[in-house]
RNA sequence: AACUCCGUGGUGUAACGGUAGCACAACAGAUUUUGGUUCUGUUUGUCAAGGUUCGAAUCCUUGCGGAGUUGCCA
């Protein structure tokens, strides 16, 4: 009898297991701390899945906390979109929504506390002077001439900073740590800066704002966060994070643990670059289906479950890796194969006339909704004398391995009949305008006929008289370069063919009932979803992702 | 040549001193009323050199390579 091995856990969950086993904590509290200055992207989704996932698995909680300490960059618009995205991903913060700005007065008191302990001082140096005196990676910094002000003077000055008696940048409050510290973050970091700006929540109540470092750990402590999970670039901030916890009367002792952020090939992820794509109109907006934003992915038709599965498969480590976008697409296909209803749609239509089929006859065939779940039943698809098929599914002079329709050849029209091509009609310029076929009544429903005849291909079709006209948008990767951040300007690597619009698509009538938010399969083509731009007059579908296509792959190799 | 962190197939991720496994990708085949799905098989890996040990991806030493850090951003 073999016992299945326990599922392997990432290093963060192992730490949590130990902390729970040792009794250091008896429950877990994590947090997702976005700054409301932009839209969430799939990298954030990784962090959301980690933090909220841990809360679910351990029966703990995960706080949503907006890190809103910089009024010049932040806005409520972002708060709302961030909340929507987290919910869409399938997570719930319950009552635990917080704002760092709720702690401003507590943080102010703690700053005063540090001054009284002789651990903070008001500095009059300009930003430039501070930079010069900070030293660099190899050389120690120089202490500020204002470093040894008296407690009274510091208290007075800090009070005046708060009251608005100074202009932006005139003074800052700094921690008094060590100007020669090998970690630059410890060289008397700034705690408070003066910013006369309207804050999206506190209005003009404050004109001094705490820095990230002076806010984050203390906020964690105030919320009794046990494990504060962040990305690798905060590793160098951990000593400072702990310095504040050591020197302030905080109510709890959170632990910061860093993990590697998500990166994907053929994708840019930095907020700055995504913003640039939007502002300079390389994409239609934050929710352009080509964007790696949560809203873009949603509009593209990726299911939330696929994102969650993807985050599970990439794991959590400290190793800076680049994930293959194919892995994400695989997660998407895996979910959609299970969940998407099947329909027929012709993207690039060419007309087929079934010459031996009665002119005004219409038959309805039963077509399976999802072959993975036959119990879901069937839908009715109308068939008539005039049909559309995919231009790619016909070749007048086919290569050897081409199984689809060509002169003299017979194929199955999915769920309908075997049709044989007898004639090709062309216009004056030689373009094919119609394909004339005959059907075999013995193959009704697409069944093999009694004579045992077989065909090598099944193709999709739409009845011309019943078709819904639609626009279909096909997306390809936004960047051609595997690492668009490398080799100069990332904009140079934009894929000029990342979007192609097909305005003459023909849809099976059932497709008129697909609702926004649902992703379906167009058989043999891929997964598609109605776009936000869709209207009764003009349905618009986005291609979420294509089906694996071994025929196309074989062609490309030649 | 500061400090911190990280090196396992093409990509990502396991193995916690005891057979280097899994997923994706690639390739080959079987099945198929989607050239989809499913199934089977194949190829490819512990950064390097020493050391400890019966035994090292794992522990130690040195080297090599990569990343982050010099905002009054987060």
Domain ranges of chain A: 25-259, 271-341+470-557, 351-460
Read off the pLDDT of residues A280-302 as tens digits, 9 standing for 90 and up.
999 999 999 999 999 999 999 99
pLDDT of A25 higher than 50: yes
Q: Would residue A380 show up in a list of annotated catalytic residues for this protein?
A: no
**Percent of chain A predicted with pLDDT > 90:** 96
Examine domains A25-259 and A271-341+470-557 and report if their fold is the same: no
| Sheet arrangement for strand A97-99 | A29-32, A61-66, A97-99
Question: Which nucleotide is nearest to A189 if distance is taken from CA to C1'?
Answer: B72
Among A224, A264, A196, A169, smallest CA distance to A26 is for A224
CB of A318 within 7 Å of some strand B atom: yes
CB of A182 within 7 Å of some strand B atom: yes
Select which of A35, A129, A363, A482 is catalytic.
A35
Q: Render A479-530 in DSSP notation, one character per residue.
A: BSSSSTTSSS-GGGGB-TTSEEEEEEEEE-GGGGGPPTT--EEETTTEEEEE
Protein CA at A37 to nucleotide C1' at B12, angstroms: 30
Residue A556 phi, psi dihedral angles, 5° rounding: -65, -30
pLDDT of A74 higher than 90: yes
User: For position A487, what pLDDT does the model report?
Assistant: 76
Among A303, A367, A314, A305, smallest CA distance to A545 is for A303
Q: Which residue is nearest to nucleotide B2 (CA to C1')?
A: A138
Q: Would residue A261 show up in a list of annotated catalytic residues for this protein?
A: yes
Read off the pLDDT of residues A173-219 as tens digits, 9 standing for 90 and up.
999 999 999 999 999 999 999 999 999 999 999 999 999 999 999 99
CB of A212 within 7 Å of some strand B atom: yes
Protein CA at A135 to nucleotide C1' at B1, angstroms: 17
Protein chain A, residues 321-380, with a C-beta closer than 7 Å to any atom of nucleic acid strand B: 321-324, 326-327, 330, 333-334, 337, 342, 370-372
Note the residue count of chain A.
Answer: 558
CB of A458 within 7 Å of some strand B atom: yes
Protein CA at A456 to nucleotide C1' at B32, angstroms: 11
CB of A101 within 7 Å of some strand B atom: no
| Distance (Å, whole) CA A72 – CA A74 | 6
A405 alpha-carbon distance from chain centroid: 40
Residue labelled with tokens 């994409």: A283
Among A227, A192, A32, A8, smallest CA distance to A108 is for A192
Protein CA at A268 to nucleotide C1' at B29, angstroms: 39
CATH superfamily of A351-460: Ribosomal Protein L25; Chain P (2.40.240.10)
User: For position A556, what pLDDT does the model report?
Assistant: 80
Q: What is the ipTM score, two decimals?
A: 0.95
Protein chain A, residues 395-414, with a C-beta closer than 7 Å to any atom of nucleic acid strand B: 401-404, 412, 414
Select which of A261, A273, A351, A444 is catalytic.
A261
Q: What is the mean pLDDT of chain A?
A: 96
Question: Which nucleotide is nearest to A459 if distance is taken from CA to C1'?
Answer: B34
pLDDT of A277 higher than 70: yes
CATH of A25-259, one of 2.60.40.420, 3.40.50.300, 3.40.50.620, 3.10.180.10: 3.40.50.620
Reported as a pLDDT band with limits 50, 70 and 90, residue A6 is: low
CB of A131 within 7 Å of some strand B atom: yes
Protein CA at A259 to nucleotide C1' at B48, angstroms: 27
User: For position A256, what pLDDT does the model report?
Assistant: 97
What Cα–Cα distance (Å) separates residue A427 from each residue in A35, A65, A422, A424, A431? 61, 65, 17, 10, 6
pLDDT of A4 higher than 50: no
Q: What is the CATH number of domain A271-341+470-557?
A: 2.40.240.10
Reported as a pLDDT band with limits 50, 70 and 90, residue A12 is: very high
Protein CA at A166 to nucleotide C1' at B38, angstroms: 71
User: For position A2, what pLDDT does the model report?
Assistant: 37
Question: Which nucleotide is nearest to A168 if distance is taken from CA to C1'?
Answer: B72
Protein CA at A482 to nucleotide C1' at B32, angstroms: 35
Q: What is the 3-state secondary structure (H, E, C) of A451-480?
A: CCCCCCCEECEEEHHHCEEEEEEEECCCEC
Among A543, A470, A453, smallest CA distance to A507 is for A470
User: For position A480, what pLDDT does the model report?
Assistant: 94
| Distance (Å, whole) CA A533 – CA A541 | 9
Q: pTM to 2 decimals?
A: 0.96
Section A534-540 average pLDDT? 94
> Which nucleotides along chain B are within 7 A of a protein C-beta?
1-8, 10-16, 23-27, 33-38, 66-74
pLDDT of A3 higher than 50: no
């Amino acid at each position: 009898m073999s016992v299945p091995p326990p599922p392997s856990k990432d290093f963060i969950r192992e730490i949590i297991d130990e902390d729970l086993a040792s009794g250091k904590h008896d429950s877990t509290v994590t947090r997702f701390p976005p700054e409301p200055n932009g839209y969430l992207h799939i990298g954030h989704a990784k962090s959301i899945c980690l933090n909220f996932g841990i809360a679910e698995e351990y029966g703990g909680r995960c706080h949503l906390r907006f890190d809103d300490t910089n009024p010049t960059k932040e806005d409520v618009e972002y708060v709302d979109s961030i909340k929507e995205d987290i919910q869409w991903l399938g997570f719930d913060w319950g009552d635990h929504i917080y704002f760092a700005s709720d702690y401003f007065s507590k943080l102010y008191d703690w700053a005063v506390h540090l001054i009284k302990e002789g651990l903070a001082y008001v500095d009059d140096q300009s930003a430039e002077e501070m930079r010069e005196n900070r030293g660099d990676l190899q050389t120690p910094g120089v202490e500020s001439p204002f470093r040894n002000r008296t407690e009274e003077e510091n208290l007075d000055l800090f009070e005046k900073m708060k009251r608005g008696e100074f202009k932006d940048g005139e003074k800052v409050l700094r921690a008094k740590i060590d100007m020669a510290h090998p970690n630059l973050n410890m060289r008397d970091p700034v705690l408070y800066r003066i910013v006369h700006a309207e804050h999206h929540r506190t209005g003009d109540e404050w004109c001094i704002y705490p820095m990230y470092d002076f806010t984050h750990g203390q906020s964690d402590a105030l919320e009794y966060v046990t494990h504060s999970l962040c990305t690798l670039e905060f590793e160098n901030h951990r000593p400072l994070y702990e310095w504040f916890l050591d020197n302030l009367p905080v109510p709890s002792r959170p632990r910061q643990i860093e993990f590697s952020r998500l990166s994907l090939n053929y994708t840019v992820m930095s907020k700055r670059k995504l913003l640039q794509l939007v502002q300079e109109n390389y994409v239609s907006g934050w929710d352009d289906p080509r964007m790696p934003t949560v809203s873009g992915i949603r509009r593209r038709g990726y299911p939330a479950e696929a994102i969650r599965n993807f985050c599970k498969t990439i794991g959590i480590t400290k190793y800076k890796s680049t994930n293959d976008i194919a892995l994400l697409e695989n997660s998407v296909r895996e979910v959609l194969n299970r969940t998407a209803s099947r329909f027929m749609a012709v993207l690039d239509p060419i007309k087929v006339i079934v010459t031996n089929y009665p002119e005004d006859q219409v038959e309805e065939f039963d077509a399976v909704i999802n072959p993975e779940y036959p119990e879901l039943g069937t839908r009715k698809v109308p068939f008539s004398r005039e049909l559309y098929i995919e231009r790619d599914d016909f070749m007048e002079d086919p290569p050897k391995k081409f199984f689809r329709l060509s002169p003299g050849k017979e194929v199955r029209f999915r769920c309908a009949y075997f049709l044989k091509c007898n004639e090709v009609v062309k216009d004056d310029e030689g373009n094919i305008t119609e394909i004339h076929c005959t059907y075999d009544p013995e193959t009704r429903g697409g069944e093999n006929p009694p004579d045992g005849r077989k065909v090598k291909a099944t193709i999709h079709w739409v009845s011309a008289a019943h078709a819904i006209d639609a626009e279909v948008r096909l997306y390809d990767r936004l960047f051609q370069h595997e690492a668009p951040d490398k080799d100069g300007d990332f904009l140079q690597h934009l894929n000029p063919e990342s979007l192609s619009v097909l305005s003459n698509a023909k849809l099976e009538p059932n497709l008129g009932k697909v609702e926004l938010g649902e992703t379906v399969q167009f058989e043999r083509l891929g997964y598609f979803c109605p776009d936000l731009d869709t209207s009764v007059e003009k349905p618009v579908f986005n291609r979420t992702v294509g089906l694996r296509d071994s025929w196309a792959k074989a062609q490309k190799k030649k």
